[in-house]
Homo-oligomer: A and B are copies of this chain.
Amino acid sequence: MSSQRKNGHRRIRLWKPKRTSPGAAPGMITPAEDAMVPRILVTTYDSVFIQELSFTDLQALMVHLDQHPNRINWVELQGFGDRRLLEQFCAAFGIHRLEMEDVINNYQRPKLEDYDDHLFVVTRLLRKNGDDQIRNDQFALFLKQNLVITFQETYDENFDPVRVRLRSGKGHLRSSYADYLTYALLDCAVDHYFPLLEIYGEKLDSLEDELFGKPNRDCLHRIQSLKRELILVRRTVFAERDKVNDMLRTASDLIGDQTKIYLRDTYDHTIQVMDLVESYKEIIASLMEIYLSSVSFRLNQVMKVLAIISTIFIPLTFIVGVYGMNFSSTDPSTGAFLPMNMPELYSPYGYTGVMVFMLVLVIVQLLIFWRKGWLDKS
């Protein structure tokens, strides 16, 4: 999701270019070359029963599903490295080839597609790695009667909290329908925004402190990186909000009224995230302004010191220059005394007088600067 820059900063990528060239046929199911070997996990449950299995063969999976027609089945496909398997999935579960293309073409916007017999939901999972790298995973979900199929590119256990809740049997999860499982998974994805925003909030605060304290060029780098990340987060959460809203308004029977109450909660969360992202965007804009003002401010500081030093010493240097002139008190040819030529040089207190005069000048100048506020710190 990011590329290394020369100066050690990383830059996130705002998207991943499509692998297909313009004009290619739609619905091409061509996994990436470095796609992971797929694995299939199945959780079959109802309020009194739970079984977790792992399959490598689609046929065995179908047999298993047939055995539990009245239980909820959560089928997870992780890794897209087997094109034949993906096509079998299409055939077995009635997935449109365009949908499967979206599943493996790993940079869709969050969206809901609403079909007669199933819902197709694309979700993005944004979160931070341990090394402060943003991860931007895609998670696709098919909701059918009693069946939830989820697709993930990697084996990441993003949804372990949901799995734990399923196993524990507490709460509504086990006693609800497949739509509630869908809600639980989406809610988990939206919940990941909050720790992310907390990180951004802290970064913005420490940047602000630094900008008011000792700003440096690296701050600008970090402002720009934060801006880029917030552009990505903002774009994603807007689409996410629209998606959840679509789910709330769908006429499909697949999502029950009871679950819609919970989805409304998720919707509230997306609104909260959007509010915060917008606020952060405004704050980042003003951090940029503060940075620019800091650059100007430091220039002012430097110029003030230069101006004070110059303004004090340039006149003094002129004065000592005057008494460094070689006007002669005697005419070299006639030897006549020239009384107008710098008599100060021969006065007993000439030197002392000049030094005292210069001292007074410096004091007067400092007083002027002090009154003009040039000697203040800010």
Distance to closest chain B CB from A192 (angstroms): 5
The interface residues of chain B lying within 8 Å CB-to-CB of A376 are: 216
Over the window 214-237 of chain A, the binary record of Cβ atoms lying under 8 Å from chain B Cβ atoms (1 yes, 0 no) is 101110110010011001100100
Q: Which of B288, B305, B316 contacts A307 (CB 8 A)?
A: B305
**A130 at interface by CB-CB < 8 Å:** no
B299 and A302 form a contact (CB under 8 A): no
User: Which residues of chain A from 319 to 365 have a CB within 8 Å of any chain B CB?
Assistant: 320-333, 337-338, 340-342, 344-352, 354
A345 and B323 form a contact (CB under 8 A): no
A23 and B313 form a contact (CB under 8 A): no
**A117 at interface by CB-CB < 8 Å:** no
- Bound-state Cα–Cα, A205 to B2, Å: 11
Distance to closest chain B CB from A38 (angstroms): 24
- Known: A295-B297, A296-B292. Contact between A331 and B310, CB under 8 A? no
How many residues of A are in contact with the other chain, CB < 8 A? Answer: 138
B293 and A295 form a contact (CB under 8 A): yes
**A71 at interface by CB-CB < 8 Å:** no
**A57 at interface by CB-CB < 8 Å:** no
- Bound-state Cα–Cα, A261 to B95, Å: 13
- Of the stretches A44-52, A80-88, A156-164, the one at the interface is A156-164
Q: Which of B305, B340, B346 contacts A333 (CB 8 A)?
A: B346
B311 and A314 form a contact (CB under 8 A): no
B292 and A220 form a contact (CB under 8 A): no
B327 and A337 form a contact (CB under 8 A): no
**A96 at interface by CB-CB < 8 Å:** yes
**A94 at interface by CB-CB < 8 Å:** no
- Known: A24-B161, A299-B296, A351-B340. Contact between A345 and B317, CB under 8 A? no
A283 and B374 form a contact (CB under 8 A): no
- Of the stretches A61-69, A138-146, A194-202, A247-255, the one at the interface is A194-202
Distance to closest chain B CB from A360 (angstroms): 16
Q: Could you list 26 examples of A-B contacts with CB < 8 Å? A: A17-B197, A23-B191, A25-B170, A26-B184, A26-B187, A108-B268, A109-B272, A286-B288, A302-B374, A303-B306, A306-B310, A309-B314, A316-B318, A317-B318, A320-B321, A320-B322, A320-B325, A323-B325, A325-B345, A326-B326, A326-B342, A330-B332, A331-B346, A333-B337, A340-B349, A341-B351
